[in-house]
A and B are shown apart, each in its own frame.
Chain A
Amino acid sequence: DIQMTQSPSTLSASLGDRVTISCRASQSINNWLAWFQQKPGKAPKLLIHKGSSLESGVPSRFSGSGSGTEFTLTISSLQADDSATYYCQQYNSYWTFGQGTKVEIK
């Protein structure tokens, strides 16, 4: 099974800050990686697939990068609406989610 490890587990940042979340796969997943945003009581929302492809309607302040085993989600300028938990997910071999990163606004 492919394991996905996210860091940090929680981060607190100010409005306008650049925020970076890391995701590491236990083996190469090529670019078969997605990022989701989940708010309390809601279903996850797909932000990015294939490592860096932004979903339609997702603000351009979100971006994804990486390949192989190391991936990054970046929020270029943190907005109040970005307060949520973010999950990476590999789909190279079945599907595995990371443990999540909670983003809080200072």
Chain B
Amino acid sequence: QITLKESGPTLVKPTQTLTLTCTFSGFSLSTIGVGVGWIRQPPGKALEWLALIYWNDDKRYRASLKSRLTITKDTSKNQVVLGMTNMDPVDTATYFCSHSQTDVFDFWGQGILVTVSS
């Protein structure tokens, strides 16, 4: 079955760079039509899509955050990494990674709460 799990720091300081890793199993990121996306949710607020990487290494970024985001994949390790530069307290949120099949987010990780504070 498909599983995903987010890992990384739970506390970062303002201006630092956040690096999150999504480790998955049950599918291959080499399969046509498959992608892995990142979505975040500030406490008590709505979901916000951030980035997605496809099986062919095509990448999509949220326009308002594009300058701060980087998404990469390591197919051999079954991992997708999200980088976000210049972190600010408003970036405090639970960050989820998700499997995408033809652009539908059908399986999600449990999420990781990242707090930005000095």
Contacts and interface: CB of A to CB of B under 8 A. Distances in A.
A87 B52 CA distance: 19
Contacts of B96: 43-44
Interface string A29-49: 000101010100011111001
Interface size class, chain A: 20 to 34
Contacts of A94: 49, 60, 62-63
A73 to B, nearest CB: 15
Dominant secondary structure of chain B at its interface with chain A: strand
Contacts of A98: 46
A46 B106 contact: yes
A1 B63 contact: yes
Given A43-B96, A94-B62, A95-B37, A49 B104 contact: yes
B47 A44 contact: yes
A64 interface: no
Contacts of B63: 1, 94
A43 B46 contact: no
Interface in B93-108: 96, 103-106, 108
B110 interface: yes
A96 B49 contact: yes
A97 B48 contact: yes
Dominant secondary structure of chain A at its interface with chain B: loop
A44 B99 CA distance: 12
Given A32-B103, A43-B111, A95 B49 contact: yes
Nearest to A45: B108
B14 interface: no
Interface in B19-54: 37, 39, 46-49, 52
Contacts of B60: 94
A36 B47 CA distance: 11
A55 B107 CA distance: 11
A55 B109 CA distance: 18
A99 interface: yes
B104 A43 contact: no
Nearest to B62: A94
